[in-house]
Amino acid sequence: MQYPGPIAAIEVIGLERRFKGAVKAVAGIDLEVAAGEVYGFLGPNGAGKTTTVRMLVTLLRPTGGQALVAGFDVATQPADVRRRIGVALQEAALDPLMTGSELIELQATLHGIAPRTVRARGAELIERVGLSQAAGRRVGTYSGGMRRRLDLAMALIHEPEVLFLDEPTTGLDPTSRLTLWEEVRRLRDEGTTVFLTTQYLEEADQLADRLGIIAAGRIVATGTPAALKAEVGRPHLDLVLAPGTDLRRAHEVVTRFGDHRPVADGCHLSIEIARGAGDIAPILRALDDADVAVAELELRQPTLDDVFLAKTGEHLEGSGNPHSEAAAELV
């Protein structure tokens, strides 16, 4: 049954997947993705991202809950779902013996695209993802980035309403990653709904209109990246004072601008500020007036890793330095 009225592109209620041995890979998640939105699904390895995607694209049956994609139930109307979605799974499952053109034409045929339009549509997409020169080569000779782009082109062949990208940039070099990001942005501009899983903070931050953060099979936070970061605190200004500077004096000055916490090495101050960059100049002026010399300063925005840390007590795997998203290093 198709649900009446304005519908979300994806609507998930209490979705659950239990594997043999009673392992719950997805433990009852709820989420809603609006049409035309890029929804980022962020979490560490093993959090349940891929299991969720596999259920939403009908490759895996849910063991509980309900999921509607493009208005159709993934469990009871899988064929209707498949006609409306594009899927690029975590491992770009491309036949290495086929050429790019052959693969894309096969995909078009499997989606029931009329034979007379298959070639033209294929060529258009091949060009769009920048593979025109390599289209006649076997996929086995492609680089990782080229495979991903071809995979994306194949997922778009039938102009899907909802596109699922499962960790589309994992293992790619920075240039290939940026190319794929550009394509995702273009798809959003064209009105395609994109459900994107990632374990990269920056990717989620850059691409997602809204985010769901998943850990141990449960969604621990949802919202826009900005709102999620705002939830865990304000920006911090980290100051490194020049050698020989009176720390107590510096402490007194910065206290006027917000909370502060001097650190153990005796020349490092970190202060939470309300207005971000707008607060920096007054603080520097006040320190200067008090003869406090500043050697370095850094404005540090809360990161999605801070959000993850706040919600789960752990850092996101592979996120490395939680301060890696420093917005500006001014000195």
Partner 1 sequence: MIAASVALARRALRNALRRPQFLAPLVLFPTLFLAVNVGGLERTTSLQGFPQVDGFLDFQLAAAITQSLLLGGVSAGIAAALDIEGGFFDRLVASPTPRLAIVLGRVLAASVIAAIQVVYFLVLGLVFGASIQGGALGVLSVLAIGIVAGTGFGALGMMIALRTRNASTVQGIFPLVFVILFISSAFFPRELLSAPADVLAAYNPLSYIAEGMRQPIAFDNAIGPVLEGLAAAAGVTVVAIGLSVLALRGRLREA
Name the site residues for partner 1 (rule: CB under 8 A): 57-61, 79, 82-83, 85, 87, 89, 91, 93-95, 97-98, 102, 106-107, 109-112, 115, 138, 154
CB of 162 to partner 1, least distance (A): 12
Contacts of 10 (CB under 8 A, 6+ apart): 31, 32, 33, 39, 56, 67, 68, 69, 162, 193, 195
Q: Which is nearer to partner 1, 138 or 315 (CB)?
A: 138
CB of 317 to partner 1, least distance (A): 23
Q: Which is nearer to partner 1, 87 or 131 (CB)?
A: 87
Question: How far apart are alpha carbons 233 and 229 in whole angstroms?
Answer: 7
Q: Which is nearer to partner 1, 97 or 327 (CB)?
A: 97
Q: How far is CA 48 from CA 45, 200, 227, in A?
A: 8, 15, 23
CB of 299 to partner 1, least distance (A): 44
CB of 154 to partner 1, least distance (A): 8
CB of 77 to partner 1, least distance (A): 12
CB of 182 to partner 1, least distance (A): 24
Q: How far is CA 179 from CA 152, 155, 169, 182, in A?
A: 12, 16, 10, 5
Q: Which is nearer to partner 1, 49 or 210 (CB)?
A: 49
Question: How far apart are alpha carbons 127 and 133 in whole angstroms?
Answer: 9
Q: Which is nearer to partner 1, 6 or 115 (CB)?
A: 115
Residue 153: exposed, middle, or buried by beta-carbon count in 10 A (0-12, 13-18, 19+)?
buried
Question: How far apart are alpha carbons 69 and 306 in whole angstroms?
Answer: 31
Q: Which is nearer to partner 1, 93 or 293 (CB)?
A: 93
φ, ψ of residue 66 in degrees (nearest 5): -145, 145
